[in-house]
Amino acid sequence: MDAVPRPRGTPLYDAAALRVIETDMAARLGDGFALMARAGQAAWRELLSRWPDVQRIVVVCGPGNNGGDGYELCRHAHESGRDARVLRLEAHAPRTALARQACGAYRESGGRIKAFDDGFGRAQLVVDALFGIGLSREPDAEAARVIDAINASGLPVFALDVPSGLDADRGSAPGRVVHASHTLQLLAPHAGLYTGAAARCTGSLALATLDADEALARAPAAAIRLDRDDLRDWIAPRARDAHKGDSGHVLCIGGDTGKGGAVMLAADAALRCGAGLVSVATRPAHVPALLARRPEAMVHGVDEATALAALMDRADVVALGPGLGQEDWGARLHAEALAAGKPLVLDADALNVLARHTRVLPAGTILTPHPGEAARLLGFTTAEVQANRFAAARLLAEMFGCVVVLKGAGTLVAAPEQVPRVIAAGNPGMAVGGMGDLLTGCIAALRALGLEAFDAACHGALLHAVAGDTAAQDGERGLLPTDLLAPLRTWVNGGPHA
């Protein structure tokens, strides 16, 4: 086998860990305010590097320490000679000792505070310092009015730490949320800024660690982020004397009447991700078309009476679900595939059948639900899944004792006893029919190459997302799953410059 698992990535933290780091740092610096001063300074530097020519700035400050960071930043802006002012709601006067201190320092420097009145005057930039990791509920009506005004302003928005309204642990927005152009995370990257609703509201992301790296190293990670750089070199080059049997045999099962393309996309992806052999079991009517399209695949017609045992025996991994349908044909293949005892990747209708007839799954099974499928499996609504994607993925993984790839912006990979992984790649062009079928094939191929289930799921999801980003260079609209096949091949070999 030519695969080397490669546990890599960037740790992400939740608010509880950040509070511990904050206390740790405050003790080390001997002054609670020193950290906020660093945050303000880092934010001002970031603002200047992004918007060097900006002259007129409004900083919208909330009641907590996020607002405190805002006062600090505004003090620097004011002291530099910019036309900078704080806007705030009456209800958002500083409530913490640190925010009061920052507000006092800002006033002492001659800084002005104006009551928020729906407008931003002649400002060229809005700084969002309303709420950070302390968001505890849906923004109330007053805060929602401020957020709406920020979003309607048409101005660039620089969010301090978190776009206000986003839950920095969960990646959900319980109500209104600021749509930032750029977000500077403070201390450490936050788990909730890489999945779910975060995709539409963070803008570009940056990080200022405020010299807390040592404290960070001791803190428990809530998740691990995987991005493009984590792909490099994770599959060793093929042995010079390799033969096709060394790279595994994937059997893709699916394609009920009218859905033959789905199973072919999975097979195509498995081939392009390096599986040595790929077989397809589908409706007999689909065989000629599939063979004409992809002669490299071994395509078998399966009717109501055909036994799958012989096909299953030859396979190293079974990818079940693309176009499977939920009729008797699909349900029968589903039952046979689950009984075969081979490593499984279950997608699409295989998950819907599973939701109707919950079964014990073999260890090492990989499920690849989108939020709707995850909701059906859990008995939740899709909105409930999206409200806490980390919890939903973890719950599913525990419920079935398997690896779960929860798709959607910021795909998550969860498994019992594993820190969840967040895929920080991919784009909205990938929201198109057939993309999931491709993912199933990618993961099945990597499993067939010898990766453990969790590694195959992580790396398959990352590979798929990165190939999607390459394919989207020609535009997100109109992107087709088949456009990813060439980039998949490039990235499974280490990327364009490998």
Which C-beta is closer to K ion: that of 172 or that of 282?
172
Query: What is the crossing angle of helices 435-448 and 485-492, to 10°?
Result: 30
CA distance 92 to 117: 13
Partnered with residue 282 across adjacent β-strands are 301
Determine if 349 is a binding residue for K ion (CB under 5 A).
no
Tokens of 90: 């009456």
> Does 66 appear as a known binding residue?
yes
> Does 193 appear as a known binding residue?
no
Q: In what order do the strands lie in the sheet with 10-12?
A: 10-12, 223-226, 421-423, 412-414, 403-406, 366-367, 344-346, 317-320, 249-253, 277-282, 298-301
Number of residues that bind ligand NAX (CB under 6 A): 33
Determine if 202 is a binding residue for ligand NAX (CB under 6 A).
no
Which one of 123, 186, 226, 374 is in contact with ligand NAX (CB under 6 A)? 186
Which C-beta is closer to ligand NAX: that of 162 or that of 280?
162
Number of residues that bind K ion (CB under 5 A): 4
Answer whether 287's CB lies under 8 Å from 354's CB: no
Which one of 29, 33, 93, 96 is in contact with ligand NAX (CB under 6 A)? 96
**Residue 442 touches which member of ligand NAX, K ion, none, C-beta under 5-8 Å by kind:** none
**Residue 367 touches which member of K ion, ligand NAX, none, C-beta under 5-8 Å by kind:** none
**Residue 128 touches which member of K ion, ligand NAX, none, C-beta under 5-8 Å by kind:** K ion
Q: How far apart are the first and last CA of the chain?
A: 20
Which one of 3, 12, 17, 36 is in contact with ligand NAX (CB under 6 A)? 36
Interface of this chain with ligand NAX, residues 99 to 128, rule: CB under 6 A: none
The region of 2-10, 125-133, 220-228, 375-383 touching K ion under the rule CB under 5 A is 125-133
Determine if 69 is a binding residue for ligand NAX (CB under 6 A).
yes
Interface of this chain with ligand NAX, residues 128 to 157, rule: CB under 6 A: 131-140, 143
CA distance 498 to 490: 9
The C-alpha torsion from 445 through 450 and 451 to 453, rounded to 10°, is 80
Determine if 10 is a binding residue for K ion (CB under 5 A).
no
Answer whether 258's CB lies under 8 Å from 275's CB: no
Which of 438-457 are b and which e, b meaning 16 or more Cβ less than 10 Å from the residue's Cβ? bbbbbbbbbbbbbbbbbbbb
**Residue 134 touches which member of K ion, ligand NAX, none, C-beta under 5-8 Å by kind:** ligand NAX
* Site track 148-167 with K ion (rule: CB under 5 A), x = hit: -----------xx---x---
Query: Which residues 6+ apart lie within 8 Å of 229 measured at CB?
Result: none
CB neighbour class for 232 (10 Å; exposed up to 12, middle 13-18, buried from 19): middle
Task: Provide the minimum distance between the beta carbon of 191 and ligand NAX in the complex, in angstroms, as a whole number.
Answer: 14
Tokens of 384: 């409930």
* Site track 44-63 with ligand NAX (rule: CB under 6 A), x = hit: ------------------xx
Q: What is the dihedral sign for C-alpha 310, 313, 318, 320?
A: positive
Which one of 59, 61, 66, 414 is in contact with ligand NAX (CB under 6 A)? 66
Determine if 185 is a binding residue for ligand NAX (CB under 6 A).
no
> Does 113 appear as a known binding residue?
no
Determine if 22 is a binding residue for ligand NAX (CB under 6 A).
yes
Which of 173-183 are b and which e, b meaning 16 or more Cβ less than 10 Å from the residue's Cβ? bbebbbbbbbb
CA distance 317 to 158: 47
Determine if 255 is a binding residue for ligand NAX (CB under 6 A).
no
Determine if 169 is a binding residue for ligand NAX (CB under 6 A).
no
- CA dist list (Å): 413 to 266, 422, 423: 19, 7, 8
- Annotated binding residues for AMP: 407-411, 436
- Annotated binding residues: 65-69, 128, 132-138, 161, 164, 262, 323, 370, 407-411, 436-437
Question: What is the binding site for ligand NAX (CB under 6 A)?
Answer: 18-19, 21-22, 35-36, 39, 62-69, 95-96, 131-140, 143, 160-162, 186-187
